[in-house]
Amino acid sequence: MVKACKGYLTEEGLFRVWDQDRVTIISRIHDCLNLNRAYQDAFQRTKKRMEETPGEKPFDFSQLYIFGKFEAFCRRLEKVHYLLSVLKRLHRWLIMIKAIDCYQDDAGLVPA
């Protein structure tokens, strides 16, 4: 799953995460996070159904073993998502500062 998500995020290695459109990469990050949740939910439903079915042998697998690497990958994706949102806010602030500077220059408010 990690390999599939990495391929999805980078278009099979053609683009780095940082070089892509923010909206696109954030959407893809959400898709990967949702995939993790969906797989874990399916695992839990199947495990519960097997435990409730008489004569069915219950799951004897470690959830950490199955999902550990994907969980770690998703935690890293959440950090990347956070960094992208910080960059977006910083970009907005930079635009506002430039607009204020232009206004001050045009109005003659900045001493020469």
What are the pLDDT digits (tens) for 6-15? 999 999 999 9
Structural domains in the chain (count): 1
pTM score, whole prediction: 0.77
Give the least confident one: 8-12, 31-35, 86-90, 102-106. Answer: 102-106
CB < 8 Å & 24+ apart, contacts of 87-94: 87/22, 88/22
Q: Give the structural domain span for 15.
A: 2-107
Q: Is residue 112 situated within a structural domain?
A: no
Q: How would residue 110 be classed by pLDDT, with cut points 50, 70 and 90?
A: low
Enclosing H/E stretch for 71: helix 63-107
Q: What would the pLDDT profile of 24-61 be if each residue is shown by its tens digit? A: 999 999 999 999 999 999 999 988 888 888 887 777 77
Positive or negative: CA dihedral 73, 67, 28, 13: positive
Per-residue confidence (pLDDT) for residue 109, from 0 to 100: 61
Q: In angstroms, rounded to a whole number, what is the distance separating the alpha carbons of residues 29 and 25?
A: 6
